[in-house]
Amino acid sequence: MRIVIAGGHGQIALRLERLLAARGYEVAGIIRKPEQSDDLRSAGAEPVVLDLESASVEDVTELLRGADAAVFAAGAGPGSGTDRKETVDRGAAVLFADAAVRAGVRRFVVVSSMGADPAHQGDEVFDVYLRAKGEADAYVTRQKDLDWTILRPGSLTNDAGTGLVRLEAHTGRGMIPRDDVAAVLAELVDTSATAGLTLELTGGSTPVSVAVKSVAGN
C-alpha cells in the first residue's frame, strides 16, 4: 500500500509516517524544503520536494499516480498571515483533492480543525484560518470520486499519547496529543468504511482502534 502525505514535515505527519512505515506501508511525504528530507527518511518515508503553493494540478497528479491513499496534513502554520491561510489551508487542499481525482486515488483523508466552517465570520488570522479550512473541507466533500474522511482534532498538545480518544461527529472542545491524532489517522487510512464522515477528535476513554471501528459505516 502506497500512501502520499501532503505536508510531510508537519508534527502530525512525521508521527503518521513512522506509524505507517512500521506497518510496512510505502509512504511518501511532500515537503517544500529539501533540507527536511533527512527527517522524513528517519521516519521511514520517501521525501518528495514540491511546493503545493506553486505546483500545477498536473505536477501533483503525476506524484499521486499509483497511490492507494492520500492524506492532506499540510498547513500554513502558526505565525503565517492571512494570505497563506488562503494559499495553503484552502488552495493547496483543493489542489490536492483535484489531483487525487485525476490520479484515480479514491481514499482521501484530511486533517482539518475543530471549528472549521466556510461561513465563519471575522477578519483576524484565526478567523481566516477556520474559514479557509471550512471552505477546503466543503470542497472535498463535494468530490464524488473521493472516498473522503475529514478529521477535526481539538487543541493539539505534545503530551505523550494515551491511545484513548473520543471520536464522534461532534465531541465538543477538548485537548488531544498529536501522537493520538496520528494514531487515529493511521487507522482511518486503513478503514474505508469511514468514507463520507466528518469527525471531531479529543482525548477520551476509548482505544483508538475501537473508536474508529465504532464510527465506521455510520
Catalytic residues: 129
Are 68 and 2 within 8 A, CB to CB? yes
Per-residue exposure over 76-115, b if at least 16 CB sit within 10 Å of its own CB, e if not: beeeeebebbbbbbbbbbbbbbebbbbbebbbbbbbbbbb
Which of 212, 205, 204 is CA-nearest to residue 186? Answer: 212
Other beta carbons less than 10 A from residue 172's beta carbon: 10
